[in-house]
Structure 1
Amino acid sequence: MASSDGPKYVYKIVPSSAPIPESLPARLPISDLDQQSGFIHLSTALQVPNTLKFFFKDEPCVYMLRIGYEKVQENIRWESPDAKVCGPRGGEGMFPHLYNGHKLGKDEIESVATWKNEDGWDRALENAASWLVY
């Protein structure tokens, strides 16, 4: 159940080229994109499918990090995507961006799942229907 101020969870998608250790550290390494942006890019459950299809279409596998929204809420800014990379993404609205000095680790991450790209992300999304909370 979502809080009155936001979703229950937000999600970070990490390519398999940046492996996630079994025992989560206090702070995971941050992607070049997040470093350049000055924040950690996150998605809501509704935004995950298109984020996968636009930005991770060639990845064979990704790690999905499920983050309890209440744990990061004070450092989230809801911002509009500029649509320069993939064009308008109707119905997705504002994206959650985490501004906390790039800290994302065991204190923020509730669970990690590994999703495989099998001729597109549709099968992974179907298999994760109960894990991806809308």
Structure 2
Amino acid sequence: MTDTEPLYLYKLVPSSTPVREPLLERLEVSEIDQKSGFIHLSTAFQVPGTLNTFFHDEPLVYVLRIPYGSVEQDVRWESPEGKVAPRPGEGMFPHLYNGLKLGRDEVESVAIWTNQGGWETALTQARPWLLY
């Protein structure tokens, strides 16, 4: 993990909510995001843990890559306990507070990863694309 700002943030979307291209202006927001009032994101370093914790049994996920610079003003770095920090760090997750808007204006590209008895193969193949 690093304390430098990331180039990209990532939103993992389950197979039950397909992401089609061309992207809509506003994608459907998950129930957990609606309840939280913000969009849960991950850095490249956090993606493996997020996959294994929350998407362990998913057959596939849509991975949305979001340039950090385009949403930086609306991102808060928070711990799972709700503590806030000014920048990324160990245990701090990016949360997007922009009125729950995530769509073609925020998302640079979309990847589809399949779960082949675990996420290791997908993560290995994603290395050139999954950037901090």
- Asked whether the two chains share a fold, i.e. TM above 0.5, the reply is yes
Look up the match of 2:85: none
Shift of 1:72: 0.4
Cα distance between partner residues in 1 of 2:112 and 2:52: 16
Shift of 1:99: 0.2
Cα distance between partner residues in 2 of 1:5 and 1:56: 27
Residue 101 (structure 2) pairs with residue 123 (structure 1): no
Q: What is the count of residue pairs matched by the alignment?
A: 124
Identity of aligned residues (%): 63
Cα distance between partner residues in 2 of 1:21 and 1:92: 33
Look up the match of 1:93: 91
Deviation digits for residues 38-93 of structure 1 (CA, Å, limit 9, x no counterpart):
000000000000000000000000000000001100000000013xxxxxxxx842
- Contact kept, 8 Å, 1:46 with 1:92, in 2: the verdict is no
Shift of 1:5: 6.4
Distance 1:92 1:53, change over 3 A: farther
In structure 2, what residue type is equivalent to 1:42? L
Cα distance between partner residues in 1 of 2:71 and 2:4: 12
Partner-residue secondary structure (3-state), 2:49: helix
In structure 1, what residue type is equivalent to 2:128? S
Look up the match of 1:60: 59
Superposed structure 1 runs of 4+ greater than 2 Å apart: none
What does 1:28-47 align with in structure 2 at a 5 Å threshold?
A: 28-47=27-46
Residue 26 (structure 2) pairs with residue 27 (structure 1): yes
Look up the match of 2:72: 73
- Contact kept, 8 Å, 1:16 with 1:62, in 2: the verdict is yes
Cα distance between partner residues in 1 of 2:69 and 2:26: 18
Cα distance between partner residues in 2 of 1:5 and 1:110: 21
Which ranges of structure 2 fall in alignment gaps of 5 or more residues?
A: 82-88
Shift of 1:22: 1.3
Look up the match of 1:105: 103
Cα distance between partner residues in 2 of 1:80 and 1:115: 26
**TM-score, normalised on structure 2?**
0.90
